[in-house]
Amino acid sequence: MSDDIFITEERIEGAEDGPLAGKTVAVKDNISTDGVRTTCGSRMLEDYVPPYDATVVSRLKAAGATIVGKANMDEFGMGTTTETSYFGETDNPAAPGHVPGGSSGGSAAAVAAGEADLALGSDTGGSVRCPAAFCGVVGIKPTYGLVSRYGLIAYGNSLEQIGPFGETVEDAAQLLDVIAGSDDRDATTRSEGDDSSYADAATGDVDGLSIGVPTELLEGADEGVVETFWEALGELEDRGAEYHEVSLPSVEHAVEAYYVIAMSEASSNLARFDGVRYGHSGGYDGNWNETFARAREEGFGDEVKRRILLGTYALSAGYHDKYYKKAQDARAWVKQDFDEALSEADVLASPTMPVPPFELGESLNDPLQLYLADANTVPVNLADLPAISVPAGETDGLPVGLQLVGPAFGEERLIRAASALA
């Protein structure tokens, strides 16, 4: 196995039979595994060993899957390149010398490299779809509430969902069948419709499918990415689908709203990592404030500290309404626009990422540009909708993904459409 893909290499055998018997699965390192180190790619949790399994891990074991390792990730899910991990960067098997995307880069890379049949990641603002696009594999971001988040170490809990990776749409859908469904330990999960078979929906039948193309999600995208996107859309048209332009005016403000909300939630969720309750200890010299500050200074990387500081500022007295409340208002606007667009089309389509994979090290000194690269993915999380990224082709030898977005709990429709391409 490749050291830059896995943080923890430990085989966990599942049941002897089940729908995933004989399948190997990589699990992102922010998903709890009983007795196996779970670090979130951070020095803060370098030695943390959970005493329980996440619900999705319990379901993998019951389905007969073999977990082959914990996959590398951007620290606490904060990144687009898997270069912010305390344990080092991950290379892209589909484009060596380039980033695999983030934050679930290790999970996508494991599937792309053939080191796991399937993988689990988490998607707060594109962290499944971005690496799926950059590594040339399939990644599904489920509807918020379809998959239990119990055991997922929280970053932005109103936004994030655990999602599957696979080499094909049917593979990823088979994994979604196993992990989806209500969970008494996660009150946000849905309580009905748990008998859906997503793998059975991968028929590739797109005859009569109406596809809306949001013009705003093409603006400013790399020319080669846009060209590859239209070629893939043409394949769907050849198979009977129809497409037309739609508009999502609010996405102009989606990135700003997303980062205010996500950073605010990160500030709150990561407060417990203080070296006493959880995490790296900076040593105790009798002064609590200095001890707390030292633990977090040493335990967190630069990107995590940047987001905690910005989130704390946005929530502080005098600024809550100016930033956080305004961001929540923008979130409602984004959701309204998606609902209107999906009343005019069965699914929406765009490039998953507006750019091809960056070279390793290319973007680390410009966090703003990295945030802007999430322009096509973060609106979906704000709207609590499902999306899938499938390989669309290449530009200059680098993978390009096509993103399809559907109505809430419309995964079967997305899987049916996407399986016409992968």
pLDDT tens readout for residues 63-94:
999 999 999 999 999 999 999 999 999 999 99
pLDDT tens readout for residues 316-343:
988 888 999 999 999 999 999 999 999 9
Q: Exactly one of 127, 264, 267, 389 is catalytic; which is it? A: 127
pLDDT at 366: 81
pLDDT at 416: 98
User: What is the largest distance, in Å, between two alpha-carbon atoms of the chain?
Assistant: 71
- Residue 1 pLDDT grade (very low, low, confident, very high; cuts 50, 70, 90): very low
CA of 355: how far to CAs of 130, 136, 202, in Å? 10, 14, 28
**pTM of this prediction exceeds 0.85:** yes
- 103 as an active site residue: the answer is yes
Contact 415, 388 (CB under 8 A): yes
- 148 as an active site residue: the answer is no
| Domain positions in the chain | 6-206+349-418
pLDDT tens readout for residues 108-136:
999 999 999 999 999 999 999 999 999 99
Identify the three-state secondary structure at position 293: helix
pLDDT tens readout for residues 376-395:
999 999 999 999 999 999 99
Question: Any idea which of 39-48, 86-95, 276-285, 359-368 has the lowest mean pLDDT?
Answer: 276-285
DSSP letters of 347-396?
Answer: EEEEESSSSPPPBTTSSTT-HHHHHHTTTTTHHHHHTT--EEEEEEEEET
- What mean pLDDT is reported for the chain? 95
Q: Exactly one of 58, 103, 264, 350 is catalytic; which is it? A: 103
Residue range 6-206+349-418, CATH number: 3.90.1300.10
